[in-house]
Amino acid sequence: MTPSAASSAPAVTRVSVVGRGRLGSAIAPTLTHAGYTVFGPTGRDEPVGDADVVLLCVPDREIRDAAAAASGHATLIGHTSGATGLDDVDFGLHPLQTFAGGDDPSVFAGIGAAIGGRSPEALTIARSLATALGMHAFEIADADRARYHAAAAFAANFVVTLEGLAERLLREAGPDIDDGDARALLAPLVRRTVENWAARGAASALTGPIARGDDETVARQRAALAPELVPLFDVLADHTRALAAERSR
């Protein structure tokens, strides 16, 4: 496969990937598989390979220094951060996915990619790289990047936090249930819930006592919680009531 880009941007055939974390370690072989000549991923304090594009797969706090170190090694520099603006780079390319390590090239297939560019040329390069990786690119303005990334945190990070709390409550409710048992028992419920949400939307997928208007059961749930969990329960319950109200409109 030969890499290609829109006529408004220079042809990109060489990409230098900086960052040996989970994302950099997944992107580098996938770009190679897509036909690019890839240097790296390189680690901290290692020389940056000269290329058409340097793609920074580093923590947000390291972007500025990494971009400065990469200056002069490529025509354009991009980062893979979801929340960080483009002040120090030419473009952004953020895969809307979680990476656990050891991922094969198909991990990018069909997922979203938030892109942005400080110039039409840079935006075109970001889009072409996303397409080469097999992703669906969508543009996010710099001013909206933090809001976009918050959406990703709600969809992924906070879900994991809530599932961790669900494990804890189930273990406390059943003395014979250990960590593995709790996950095995809850996982089918979580999977079906996510599948229903993806197919039908949040309001239509909502079930449970709040959706049924069963305030007595909700009160019993609240009373059974440790005091430190009550404020979180109340906030989630309020938002769930608002979601349930959407179904009756």
Segments making up each domain of the chain, as ranges:
14-140, 147-246
SS3 144: helix
For residue 114, the model assigns a pLDDT of 98
Quickly name the fold that domain 147-246 has: N-(1-d-carboxylethyl)-l-norvaline Dehydrogenase; domain 2 (1.10.1040)
Mean pLDDT computed over 183-189: 96
pLDDT at 9 over 70: no
For residue 103, the model assigns a pLDDT of 58
DSSP-H helix ranges across the chain: 22-33, 63-70, 120-132, 145-152, 158-173, 179-200, 202-205, 209-212, 215-223, 230-246
pTM, rounded to two decimals: 0.87
Q: Which tens digits make up the pLDDT trace of 59-107?
A: 999 999 999 999 999 999 999 999 999 999 999 999 999 887 665 768 8
Q: CA 162 to CA 43: how far, in whole Å?
A: 34
Average pLDDT over the chain reads 93
Q: Write down the architecture of domain 14-140 according to CATH.
A: 3-Layer(aba) Sandwich (3.40)
SS3 211: helix
Q: CA 3 to CA 12: how far, in whole Å?
A: 7
pLDDT at 248 over 80: no
Q: Which residues contact 231 (CB under 8 A, 6 or more apart)?
A: none
